Amino acid sequence: MKKEFRAPVQSRSKERVELILNIAKKLIGERGIDSVSMREIANLAEVQIGSLYQYFGGKEAVLLAIMRQYYDLLYEQTKSILEPVRNIKELEIAAEKAMGQYVELFRNETALSNLWAGAQAMPDLIAEDNKDSFRNADLIVKTIMRCLPGLKENDVKPFALYFSHTLGTIVRFSMEIDKKYANFVINECKNILKLRLKSFQELSLKKEKQKSRKV
């Protein structure tokens, strides 16, 4: 049975839940998810274990709430960067900036890296990760189609899904290897994105020419 997070209504309860999540993040960042227990979180947050379970049905619910916080933060950051974009050149610059913020968050928040790694063994967290990939893919699709109105959603969606879902893997890998090679990997990812955007631009021009011939 799925153990849900019960969002509090009162401000005092919201503050307590935020404290619980911050403590859990700290512990996960220091030791990973496997060695962190609900009792330890409750003790450090100075709440009764029963009260902790009133908010979170289990440890997986705590992890899911933290993951959603990180994913919402990343999504809002990316959205704020991409929304003003109106052409491919602007998109290249914005995409590089968004990727930079993504890498920076992973580097600064060790809890995110540890949580993402452990998530692969938990069905609910895998489902949340996939859900977030689709949400970010939709944002990428809307941005590219705004820059290149000659394209349709089906032209862009496969790449958007691929890129949004694999970016986390690439960033995490770059953090586990020598810094020199890490920079090579990130730069290669940026180059692939630029090449794909160029191919979308060419496809859009081709479709627009075909459309004008029919008229």
Residue 4 domain flag: no
Domain check: are 53 and 141 in the same one?
Answer: no
- List, run by run, the mean pLDDT of 10-residue segments along the chain (215 residues): 61 91 95 94 96 93 94 96 96 94 90 83 90 97 96 97 93 90 94 96 94 78
Residue 2 domain flag: no
Domain check: are 125 and 91 in the same one?
Answer: yes
Domain boundary among 24, 39, 60: 60
Domain boundary among 43, 60, 77: 60
Domain check: are 54 and 105 in the same one?
Answer: no
CB-based contacts of 68, cutoff 8 Å, min separation 6: 128
- How many beta carbons lie within 10 A of that of residue 150, not counting itself? 17
Domain check: are 27 and 79 in the same one?
Answer: no
Q: In this structure, what CATH number is given to the domain that contains residue 187?
A: 1.10.357
Domain check: are 83 and 54 in the same one?
Answer: no
At 189 the pLDDT is 94
In the block, residue with structure tokens 């479709």: 207
Residue 146 domain flag: yes
Domain check: are 55 and 72 in the same one?
Answer: no
Domain check: are 55 and 81 in the same one?
Answer: no
Total domains in the fold of the chain? 2
Token pair of 152 as six digits:
């349709």
Residue 5 domain flag: no
Domain that holds residue 203: 67-208
Domain check: are 90 and 164 in the same one?
Answer: yes
At 211 the pLDDT is 84
Residue 135 domain flag: yes
Domain check: are 71 and 32 in the same one?
Answer: no
Q: In this structure, what CATH number is given to the domain that contains residue 18?
A: 1.10.10.60
At 3 the pLDDT is 56
Residue 21 domain flag: yes
At 192 the pLDDT is 95
Domain check: are 45 and 84 in the same one?
Answer: no
At 1 the pLDDT is 40
Domain boundary among 25, 40, 60: 60
Residue 189 domain flag: yes
At 120 the pLDDT is 76
Domain check: are 185 and 129 in the same one?
Answer: yes
Domain check: are 74 and 39 in the same one?
Answer: no
At 213 the pLDDT is 82
